[in-house]
Amino acid sequence: MKHKILLAEDEPFLGKVIMESLEKKGYDVVLAPDGKAAWTLFNENQFSLCILDVMMPYKDGFTLASQIRETNRKIPLMFLTAKADIKDVAQGYASGGNDYLRKPFSLEELFFRIAELLSRSEATENSVSNEMKIGAYSFLPKRQELIGVDNNAVKLSYKESRLLEMLIQNKNNVLDRKEALIKLWGDDNFFNTRNMDVYITKLRKKLQQDTTVEIVNIRGFGYKLIC
């Protein structure tokens, strides 16, 4: 299968070089000159992977990645950037990125990173179950949907879906608050902690049809999903 790649790069020369190099490797590449155009193209096409420059006009790469993750939590996302600060790297992963390639980089390294991301994505698709049981509920992580006792599907946001998946993976055990914050928000500061509390409240409301399912706050440690 020929993989289709979305390349969002506002530097025309670099974008053309990367696009033509990837096409020679057998990839189908769609080039977007800014974040806004990339978002439009993402919604009009089916891509296997997205390569996003961080500093772009109209919509930066981190914002674009967060939007993509709200609709597709599985597609591999790679950032290209000259920013090397650890806070920027953390922000990249927090916004849903899978890899972070600093400029300047060699094309060979880019080819290797892309092959690794696609291989990992395909392996996940083949091995991860598409359904998780939570009491009377069914959770479909790939589709970011929660099927209730009335068989109606509720769509979850990317962070709701990832947080619920982490709670299920630690079912009847404590999900460490700091670990969850670092993985989903990139930082365990007060603002992000309060933000996660809001997401926990949202999940509780969506799971309230089954009284045997409960998300308990273990003060000072984290949360426990009981079901």
Strands (E), the chain: 4-8, 28-32, 49-53, 77-81, 99-102, 132-134, 137-140, 145-147, 153-155, 174-176, 214-218, 222-226
What is the identity of the amino acid at 2?
A: K
Residue carrying the six token digits 């949907």: 145
- Summarised one tens digit per residue, pLDDT across range 184-217 is 887 888 888 898 999 999 999 999 988 899 999 9
Domain spanning 4-127, CATH architecture: 3-Layer(aba) Sandwich (3.40)
Domain ranges of the chain: 4-127, 132-226
- For helices 158-169 and 61-71, angle between their N-to-C axes, nearest 10 degrees: 60
The pLDDT profile of the chain, 227 residues, written as one tens digit per residue, is: 689 999 999 999 999 999 999 999 999 999 999 999 999 999 999 899 999 999 999 999 999 999 998 888 789 999 998 876 667 677 777 788 888 888 889 999 999 999 989 987 776 665 445 688 888 898 988 788 898 877 788 888 888 988 999 999 888 889 999 888 888 887 888 888 898 999 999 999 999 988 899 999 988 899 999 98
CATH of 132-226, one of 3.30.160.20, 1.10.10.10, 1.10.357.10, 3.50.50.60: 1.10.10.10
User: What is d(CA 101, CA 79) in angstroms, rounded to the nearest whole number?
Assistant: 6
pTM for the predicted model, two decimal places: 0.57
- C-alpha closest to that of 38 among 15, 14, 20: 15
User: Would you state the pLDDT for residue 6?
Assistant: 98
Tell me the pairing of strands 28-32 and 4-8. parallel
End-to-end Cα distance, the chain: 41
